[in-house]
Structure formats: C-alpha cells, structure tokens
Amino acid sequence: MKTNTAEPGSATHVLRCVHCGMVQAEGDKMFRCRGCGELLEVVYPEWAGAAREFGLRLKEIWRERRTGTLPEDVSGVWRFRELLPQVERQHVVTMREGNTPLVQLTRAAHELKLPRLFAKHQGMNPTGSFKDTGISVAISMARAKGYEFVCCASTGNTSASVAAYAARAGMKSIVLLPAGQVASGKLAQAIEYGAHVLQLQTDFDGCLNVLNDVVQRFPAYLLNSMNPYRLEGQKTVGFEIMEQLDWNVPDHVVVPGGNLANSSALGKGFLELRELGLIRTLPKISIIQAAGANPLVRTMRENGGMELVRVNAETRATAIRIGNPASWRKAVGVLSTTGGACEDVSEQEIAQAKAELGAEGVGCEPASAASLAGLKKLVRAGFVKANETVVLVLTGHMLKDVDYMLDMRVKRVLGPMSADPATVISTLERLHAGN
C-alpha cells in the first residue's frame, strides 16, 4: 500500500513467526520459523502507516472491479489484491475462485429462531471447496518462484484443488492421501486433473509427516496450509461476506475445523479489515470439530489453548479427520481475539444437520454440516442469542462425498418397482396419505 500516493497499491510483505515473532523473508521448506519451528504468517509492514481514506477507497475499488473483465478482477480472491502478496500478472493462476453465494437459510433459521442466518457456500468454488481461494494465491507464488512441482498431503479437497490449479499453471502436482480414507469424488478429481496420486497406508497426520521429509529431498513446493500464502487467499472469504452483508458485521461466523487453517484465515481477514478501518467490530468466530477428531476442543478445555492435545482422529466427515492440526496456535489466537467458542459435535448431529440443509436445498459435504450442528449447540448454550446475525461457512460441495449420503439415506429410495403408471400413482398416493 503506497500511503504517499492517492491510490492504494499492493503492499510488500514479510513473514513473521506466530510464536516467537521473528521476522524472516522466507521460512524453511515446510514454511516453519527458522528460529523456533512454529508457523509463519504474512504481514504487511506498510499498513501501519495507512491512512483511513485508503481503507474507504479500497471498498470502492473492489466494487468497481466486480463489473470488470480482467481475470484478476473477475476472481473473488485477486479482486482484493491490495491485501494480498504482490505477484506479477503473468504468474497469477486464477479460475474465478471465490464469488460464492451467501444464501439465507429459512428452515434452520425458523427452527433456531435466528431470523438472519446465512450460509456462505464455499463449495461453489471451481473444484467444489474453499481450498481454491488459498491454492490460487499459493500456487501463483510457486509459479513466480519458478517451481515445476507442487505437492500436498490431503484428506481430499486440497488434493483436488492443487491438482486442478497445477494443471492450469502447466505444473506437475504430487498428492499424498491416506489410503481408503478419502471420499471418492475428491480422489476422482485429483486423478482427472492429472496429479501423481500416492495413497499411503497411514492417516492424514501420517501423510503430512512423510511430506515433511519429502520436501527436504525433492524440489516440490508445499501447498499445505502451513504455507502462509494459502491463508492470504482464504482470508478473502471474510471480505466477500462483508460486501454481501453491505458491510454490516455479523455477530457470529461459524466454521468447521480440521487442520485449523481456514478458521485462522477467516480471523486474519476480519482483523485486517478492522486494522484498515473498513469495519469497527469483529464477529465472534466459532470453530466446530467432529467429536472423534477434536484436538482443538480438548486443547481449549484441558489447558486453555497453551499446549496442543493430539488425538487419534476418527470421523465419517473425512475432510476433518485430523488429530494433530498444524495451525492450532493460530486458531487459538482467533478464538481469543474474536471471543468465539470451540465445540464438538457427534456423528449423528453432523448427519442430522446435513440432512436439514439438504431439505432446504442447500447441499454440502459432511464436514461442512458440522457448522450447523455446532450452531445448534451454541444456541442451546445461550452463546448465540435470538436476533443475532450468523454466517455459517459451508466448506465443500455435496457431490464430493456421495457415498456418505447414499449410506445415510438408503431407506428413502423406493423400488425397484414395476415400471407402470398405476404402480407409481398408487405409491405416490400412499406416500401422500402418510403410510
């Protein structure tokens, strides 16, 4: 941001350790602090001197770009490029990511007595999950640095996104997946987009450990969410939410948590908007985990966020089957800065919430439904109050995990029955009569 000129421009950035605060130009190959080994975050030192009118001018620029035609204006990420690391135009890899709908929920709103309940549907991104917003930025950095290979460990969605964006960029992708634990839609995507798909006999946490060693010895750029540029892309969901709510800050944003980067990114986005004077207050950002994969919930309960409690993760919401989350410290920071809650929900509660969203025409994958399941608990506990505005982040598309739905709903499918109108009509009449 050039504070000495009339127009805001892109800011230069540095990386800063979230634990010891050491500022560095680059982390190690896993994007960890060269001093203490913790994660790094992108900071823009020039913002310290930014005048208030720059923040206000940003709103106008971003609005104008919505009617633009340049790829970087059409993108729901790069449209906000004043708040992103600088990347030369020719290196930007974009597929119109972001730009996802904010859907007003009616049935769930009625049941919970929350008249202003919204779902920000990140499953409407190009590869069907929020990952695209972050991968677009991080892979652009990789391209600018001249990498040929990019890599990730994944519960599925990151691998789909990495594979697609690498293909668009003319790069090669390597994805390490926990064998037998990735929903088939996601696995199929990674294969279709041409990734080297390696299924390992371990879980997600094990895949990430292996990748740690791989990147030391193989020249591939890491696209997991320890890469702080991922979070820069993912934080733009907060900017979109604010635009869609006409800059009225919601009281709560509720998001599912796995490796805990997305919640961290969301918090970073809102904090930066406040820092630049675009908003005055912060929403409470609450993080919901599956009860079988709840390391953050246990960390908060057992030691107030001081030390990570690792768990052996198990849940059918495979996207968030993570026991040793990399970004836990950042997520603890978001909970404490925004005053959000951290809850876990059972498999039954997730399935029920997913079915309820489906019943109002809003499909999502199981991990995403954890946000509604969690909201219900927060309402019951009195943490979310009547008449407060709530945004649920739905992280992935319904078709990612078709097996889950078929397993849960198989009793609702009727037939096979004989293919004649009389049978069909009598069946419909019986159904209508409620038998």
Contacts with ligand F0G by CB under 6 A lie at 129, 131, 154-158, 225, 256-263, 319-320, 365, 367-368, 395-396
Shortest Å, Cβ 66 to ligand F0G: 26
What 3-state DSSP class applies to 27? coil
What own/partner pairs with CB < 8 Å and gap ≥ 24 does 212-215 have?
A: 212/30, 214/151, 214/174, 214/176, 215/29, 215/30, 215/151
Q: Could you tell me the two tokens for 149?
A: 């290979």
In the bound complex, what is the minimum distance in angstroms from residue 199's beta carbon to ligand F0G? 14
For ligand F0G, the closer CB: 82 or 97: 97
Element (H, E) at 350: helix 347-359
CA gap 127, 59 in Å, rounded? 28
Residue 396: closest CA among 431, 417, 374, 367: 367
Nearest-approach distance from CB 208 to ligand F0G, in angstroms: 9
421 by Cβ neighbours in 10 Å (0-12 / 13-18 / 19+) ranks as exposed
Buried (b) or exposed (e) across 202-222, using 16+ Cβ within 10 A? bbbbebbbebbebbeeeebbb
Contacts of 208 (CB under 8 A, 6+ apart): 153, 224, 324, 326
Going from the C-alpha of 78 to that of each of 95, 126, 306, the distances in angstroms are 10, 15, 35
140 versus 155: smaller Cβ distance to ligand F0G: 155
- Shortest reach from residue 79's CB to ligand F0G, in Å: 22
What element of type H or E holds 54? Answer: helix 52-65
User: Which lies closer to ligand F0G via its Cβ, residue 1 or residue 254?
Assistant: 254
Looking at beta carbons only, is 129 or 299 nearer to ligand F0G? 129
- Check the CA dihedral 338-113-377-355 and report its sign: negative
**Positive or negative torsion for Cα 256, 141, 22, 277:** negative
Could you tell me the smallest distance in angstroms from the CB atom of residue 367 to ligand F0G? 4
Measured from the CB atom, is 85 or 366 closer to ligand F0G? Answer: 366
Angstrom distances, CA of residue 209 to CA of 82, 162, 367: 35, 19, 23
Residues 284/340, Cβ–Cβ less than 8 Å: yes
Q: Which is nearer to ligand F0G, 94 or 157 (CB)?
A: 157
Between 278 and 372, whose beta carbon lies closer to ligand F0G? Answer: 372
Nearest distance, CB of residue 315 and ligand F0G, angstroms = 11
Contact 320, 205 (CB under 8 A): no
Q: Tell me the C-alpha distance between 232 and 286, whole Å.
A: 20
What is the nearest approach in angstroms of ligand F0G to the Cβ of residue 354?
12
Q: How many residues does the chain have?
A: 435
CA-CA distance, 24 to 13, in Å (whole number)? 10
CB-nearer residue toward ligand F0G: 75 or 158: 158
Pick the closer one to ligand F0G by CB: 62 or 270.
Answer: 270
Shortest Å, Cβ 19 to ligand F0G? 19
Q: Distance between CA 91 and CA 81 in Å, rounded? A: 14
Minimum Å distance from CB 394 to ligand F0G? 8
Q: How far is the CB of 326 from ligand F0G (least distance, A)?
A: 8
* Distance of closest approach, residue 425 Cβ to ligand F0G, in angstroms: 41
**Please, are residues 228 and 40 in contact by the beta-carbon 8 Å criterion?**
yes
- C-beta closer to ligand F0G: residue 11 or 95: 95
Closest CB to ligand F0G among 214 and 367?
367
Cα–Cα distance, 84 to 70 (Å, whole number): 17
